[in-house]
Structure 1
Amino acid sequence: MEKVSGVHCMVGESPTWHAAEGAWYWVDIPARRIWRLDYASGATRSWQTQEMAACVSPAARGGLIAGMESGIFHLTLGEDGSVAGERLAAPPSSELFEGMRFNDGRCDRQGRFWAGTMFMDMAAARAVGNLYRYTAQDGLSAPFVSGMLTQNGTAFSPRGEVMYLSDSHPQRRMVWAFDYDIASGTPHNKRIFLDLGAQQGRPDGAAVDADGCYWSCANDGGRLQRYTPAGVLDREIALPFAKPSMCSFGGPELDTVLVTSIDHGTVSDGWPGSVVLLRPGVQGVADVPFAA
């Protein structure tokens, strides 16, 4: 396991592999910062944004698509460190109001962007979060899932016929699976995939490997967990921080996992808030750029 040098995040989130660039991108939400790691050289750089970006994905036309405080944005990252943001869509104010923002998100296997919202004060436990789909052709959908506390864990099976979604709030700790209509981009047949109420870790961000297994970051549990498509825990990897937040497969062979974390402010050994790379011995599935 290798720590990415020179990187510390308050709330590291949403790593995504940009195959065309051979690099990972991720965000530090409260710092309003986007990070990039070049796989070949190990070089990192970052950009400052005007709003908090919570989830990002490469866009086919260049730049990134992002779920932010006030909507879905296209971001152009300048060589001079500047960020130009174009807001593409936003839910009505009755669905995205003060104290809320977008949270976890990623593209499906066809390049549609999925992202959900949450009320930022988790202690308030307000079940007002929604899950949306955005495409350039159809814009922002009506919510497909509502009543979420802390939307997280969005991922898709290798062929895209199953969609996963979690609620990582301490009062929920659930992961659901949906049958996913690839042609229309519509999830249906919602069912419980994992009920993790009895374990310490909460199911935060996730990724799927080439075998169709679901890798979940056990936030507060300090582990990366691999579940088979049948929902059976078959592997755990101990991590050097208590609050892993999201994982992403990448590298030329898709055999390296980048894991972000949250600095909870209680340990001073330099690991909380760090970003690590590990090689679990399995291959992942490439992240698909937003098909703009």
Structure 2
Amino acid sequence: MHANVERIGTMHCGVGESPVWHVGEQALYWTDIPGRTLWRWNASTGHCDAWTLPEMAGCIAMTSDGWALAMETGIFRAQQAKADIALAPLERLATVKHARPDMRFNDGRCDRQGRLWAGTMVLDTALGVPAGKLYRFDAAARRVDAIIDDLIVPNGLAFSPDDRTMYLSDSHASRQTVWAFDYDIDTGTPHNRRVFIDMHAHPGRPDGAAVDADGCYWICGNDAGLVHRFTPDGRLDRSIAIPATKPAMCAFGGPGLDTLFVTSIRIDDDPLSGATFAVRPGVTGLPEPAMHC
């Protein structure tokens, strides 16, 4: 195992995504997209729970009494997950009309005003079809609005500590770019799009991301077994090796929010692929916002 990196649990997810630290429970939640599973790891006991989902969930977000899940056909809500109790039938909050039938939601998270953002993608990424969009969910109206289009594999969604900068990446090999936007907190509108990181200049494709308390942007270098930290001006500060070739998304958690949890994608010739890891990077993160609904 690499220095300062520990594995949590024994699961091997097909695509481990959207880790979210639940402060109240002191537990990490995440989703296995093709496994249609919601996972929870209890930090105090080390015990893992799993719940079967009716559709693939690309990302999850806390609500006041449970979870929001961006899945294949829309946004859903589940009551708080309880060990050994199946999730109740999910409540559909909004339906999405995809450009093609072979699409699903992928990476997403809430801003600090409680708006849920999530991107969509074509299932077969080898096709390279830019049919994906980044959606903003309006909980009051129960609808999703497409804000950014022409995306292949939207990823890397994150917000600066003051919420005035929004980050978004496209993981596809033909894009490999992270953009920054000025973000209007009152209206939830991104503008002034510019290239923040050209990942062609760094190892790995840009996948899921998180922002620490210093405003630095951490992004998984998929295919390179690395997680990179970039300063707010786009300078590479450091890279941490993960013992899996395809790290997928990272999130801060732990009692002091000083642990970086990293999910990964399973591949045949990588024995620790699909595992979830805990890293102590020497910095702290910020509490994950909940969706207002």
TM-score by length of 1: 0.95
By how many angstroms is 1:96 displaced?
A: 4.7
Pick aligned residue for 1:228 from 222, 226, 231: 231
Matched residue, 1:44: 48
Report the AA paired with residue 266 of structure 2.
D
Matched residue, 2:291: 290
Measured in 2, the distance between the counterparts of 1:240 and 1:79 equals 29
Q: Quick check: 1:273 aligned with 2:278?
A: no
Measured in 2, the distance between the counterparts of 1:169 and 1:75 equals 31
Q: Quick check: 1:203 aligned with 2:206?
A: yes
Number of residue pairs matched by the alignment: 287
Identity of aligned residues (%): 50
What residue ranges of structure 1 are gaps of 5+ in the alignment? none
Measured in 1, the distance between the counterparts of 2:273 and 2:116 equals 29
Kept in 2, the 8 Å contact 1:46–1:81? The answer is no
Kept in 1, the 8 Å contact 2:94–2:144? The answer is no
Secondary structure class of the residue paired with 2:90: strand
By how many angstroms is 1:6 displaced?
A: 2.1
By how many angstroms is 1:138 displaced?
A: 3.5
Alignment RMSD, CA only? 1.2
Q: How do 1:71-82 and structure 2 match up within 5 A?
A: 71-76=74-79, 77-82=81-86
Kept in 2, the 8 Å contact 1:48–1:81? The answer is no
Kept in 2, the 8 Å contact 1:24–1:250? The answer is yes
Q: Quick check: 1:107 aligned with 2:110?
A: yes
Matched residue, 2:242: 239
Q: Quick check: 1:214 aligned with 2:217?
A: yes
By how many angstroms is 1:80 displaced?
A: 3.6
Measured in 2, the distance between the counterparts of 1:243 and 1:53 equals 19
Q: Quick check: 1:250 aligned with 2:253?
A: yes
Comparing 230-239 with 138-147, which one deviates more in the overlay? 138-147
Kept in 2, the 8 Å contact 1:132–1:140? The answer is no
Matched residue, 1:260: 263
Report the AA paired with residue 274 of structure 1.
A
Deviations 1:161-187 (A, max 9, x none): 100000001110000001111111111
Matched residue, 1:118: 121
Secondary structure class of the residue paired with 2:145: coil
TM-score by length of 2: 0.95
Matched residue, 1:133: 136
Report the AA paired with residue 178 of structure 1.
F
Q: Quick check: 1:32 aligned with 2:33?
A: no
By how many angstroms is 1:14 displaced?
A: 0.5
Kept in 2, the 8 Å contact 1:153–1:165? The answer is yes
Report the AA paired with residue 15 of structure 1.
P
Report the AA paired with residue 237 of structure 1.
I
Measured in 2, the distance between the counterparts of 1:266 and 1:157 equals 36
Secondary structure class of the residue paired with 2:58: strand
Deviations 1:12-67 (A, max 9, x none): 0100111121111100000100100112222111100111111001111x111011
Misfit runs of 4+, over 6 Å: none
By how many angstroms is 1:190 displaced?
A: 0.8
Matched residue, 1:4: 8
Measured in 2, the distance between the counterparts of 1:113 and 1:120 equals 22
Comparing 124-133 with 136-145, which one deviates more in the overlay? 136-145
By how many angstroms is 1:78 displaced?
A: 4.6
By how many angstroms is 1:87 displaced?
A: 1.1
Secondary structure class of the residue paired with 2:282: coil
Report the AA paired with residue 245 of structure 1.
A
Report the AA paired with residue 166 of structure 2.
M
